[in-house]
Chains A and B, each alone.
Chain A
Amino acid sequence: MANHFLSRIASFMGNKLGLSSEDEAVLLYGLEIVFSSSISFLLAIVLGIIFKVLAEVLMVIIAWFCLRQFAGGAHCSSMWRCALTSSLVPALLGLLAGWLSRYLQKNFILYLFALIFIAAIFITLRLAPADNPQKPVRSSRRRRRFRNLALAAELLLAILLLGAEMLAPGKYTSLVLAGALAVGVETFFLTPAGYRVMSRIDIFWGTLKVK
């Protein structure tokens, strides 16, 4: 239904501006990106407010935004399934980060942080950019460039998050953990196991009749 509505908007714009069908397809692609991003972002914000973890949810989204563009990863099969997954996962990670920051000792948090980033760098080196049938990256030069950018994004995030924890100990621990968990989950979705989990999530939404 949403896709049909977006197609009609793209078609309307194409008619008014005298665009070719190829150009209309480009507009439709842009509309789909804007619409699905807005829906997912708004749902994530609402869940963040409901669960009182808005800052953590935003931190997860920022970390994903930095990393996923270069590393790629598993996907849902439709816009609404994606919107639900992309809003529920940050909310759950935000809740988990808040909970862990309250109950874990500082040393253990730092070990967890280090473990997540070491694993993330190892997985990124081996698997990024992950295969995506909608947008395959076949050129080895482009693959290398995406991998290097993903590694740079991970290192930058690690430095910024660790810097925040060092400069203001205990003040931003839940945000630091939210960022680290986001990197961990994102890199997990680069692995074959991550693809299987995403496929199960997709099937689960299917059983709930989410189109």
Chain B
Amino acid sequence: MRALAIRLLVALAGLLTFISMASAASACTWLYYEPEVPAKLRRE
């Protein structure tokens, strides 16, 4: 059960990382809100 929970957390973390990277690579989200981009994903 615990192993399954960890796997789910890993999958969720992977999905969130993908969303973060995709959003950081765009000029803007579709919304009128833009959270601060984390330093790790910031590009010049």
What is A's interface to B at a CB cutoff of 8 Å?
13, 16-17, 19, 22-23, 25-34, 36-37, 40, 61, 64-65, 68-76, 78-79, 81-83, 85-86, 89, 128-130, 132, 134-135, 137-139, 142, 146, 150, 198
Asked if A23 and B40 make an inter-chain contact with CB atoms under 8 angstroms apart, the answer reads: yes
A76 to B26, CA, bound (A): 18
Taking a contact as CB atoms under 8 Å apart, the answer to whether B13 and A29 are in contact is no
By a beta-carbon cutoff of 8 Å, the part of chain B in contact with chain A is 6, 9-10, 12-13, 15-20, 23-24, 26-41, 43-44
From B19, B30, B36, contact of A69 by CB (8 A): B30
A33 touches B30 (CB 8 A): no
- Determine whether the beta carbon of A27 is less than 8 Å from that of B13: yes
Instruction: Please give the distance in Å from A33's CB to the nearest CB on chain B.
Output: 5
Chain A residues near B34 (CB, 8 Å)? 75, 132, 134-135
A82:B31 contact, CB within 8 angstroms: yes
Q: Are A86 and B28 touching (Cβ within 8 A)?
A: no
- In the bound complex, CA of A40 to CA of B30 (Å): 10
Interface of A is mostly: helix
A-B contact pairs, 22 of them (CB 8 A): A13-B12, A16-B6, A17-B9, A27-B20, A29-B24, A29-B41, A30-B18, A30-B23, A34-B16, A36-B29, A65-B30, A68-B30, A69-B28, A74-B32, A75-B33, A79-B33, A81-B32, A82-B33, A86-B31, A132-B27, A134-B37, A139-B44
- Contact present for B33 and A29 (CB under 8 Å): no
Knowing A75-B32, A132-B34, A198-B32 touch, does A26 contact B27 (C-beta < 8 A)? no
In the complex, the answer to whether B37 meets A135 with C-beta atoms within 8 Å is yes
Q: Which residues on the A side are within 8 Å of B28 (C-beta)? A: 68-69, 71-73, 75, 129-130, 132, 135
Which chain A residues border B13 with CB–CB below 8 Å?
13, 17, 19, 27
Measured between beta carbons, the chain B residues less than 8 angstroms from A73 are 28, 32
Q: B30 to chain A: which residues have CB within 8 Å?
A: 37, 61, 64-65, 68-69, 86
